[in-house]
Amino acid sequence: MTTDEFYAKRPDPSNYAPYTVEYVSKVPDGNIIDTLRGQIDHMSSIFSSMTDLEAGFRYAEGKWSLKQIVGHLTDVERVFVYRALKIARADFQAVAGFDSDDYVSEANFDKRSLVDLLSEFVLVRKSTVAFFGTLAPEVWANVGTANDFTYSVRATAFVIAGHLEHHLAVIRERYLPHLAADA
């Protein structure tokens, strides 16, 4: 199996939570490391010309702002990489779940600049790419428990990529049309 074939192999559905099936399904075929790396450009293309005022937009009452989504993506990525790290290092003690709404409400993302939030996302994502890109092939099959579900290292990489794809789709469908209409 070539390196590209190895990184393109999709995870077994028994190795990730049912609520993340949607995320994994959004990941395009191909090398997962390249996908994770390429998503940095996707984020930049969406947010690079956006102002802080625009990034504070919410399409409905009670929905997150665009700044909050960027912060959420960074936080969730950290949590999932931690899970993958534990599993990759053969630390199979179960990891508790978390409430992303609580994380967002405590983070004050709306008080930060969009540039700062995007810079942090890029740093975290580059670290994620480095982490997954340096793992030994046999470690990708390791499984552990997080939030009462079985996850493999491989599945976690796909969940991270798919989670971002999920939010990018929401941004394109529910946020950007409103911002374009206001321009």
DSSP for 19-54, please give it: GGHHHHHTSPSS-HHHHHHHHHHHHHHHHTT--HHH
- Helix, coil or strand: residue 87: helix
Question: pTM, whole model, 2 decimals?
Answer: 0.96
Q: Per residue in 60-99, pLDDT tens?
A: 999 999 999 999 999 999 999 999 999 999 999 999 999 9
Q: Per residue in 24-33, pLDDT tens?
A: 999 999 999 9
Q: Where are the domains of the chain?
A: 31-182
Considering only the top CATH level, what class is 31-182? mainly alpha
Q: Per residue in 103-120, pLDDT tens?
A: 999 999 999 999 999 999
CA distances to 25, 35, 143 from 66, rounded to whole Å, are 23, 22, 33
Q: Per residue in 120-172, pLDDT tens?
A: 999 999 999 999 999 999 999 999 999 999 999 999 999 999 999 999 999 99
Nearest in space to 20 (alpha carbons), one of 121, 100, 105: 100
Give the span between the Cα atoms of 61 and 79, in whole angstroms.
Answer: 27
| Residue 145 DSSP class | E
pLDDT at 157: 98
Give the span between the Cα atoms of 156 and 20, in whole angstroms.
Answer: 10
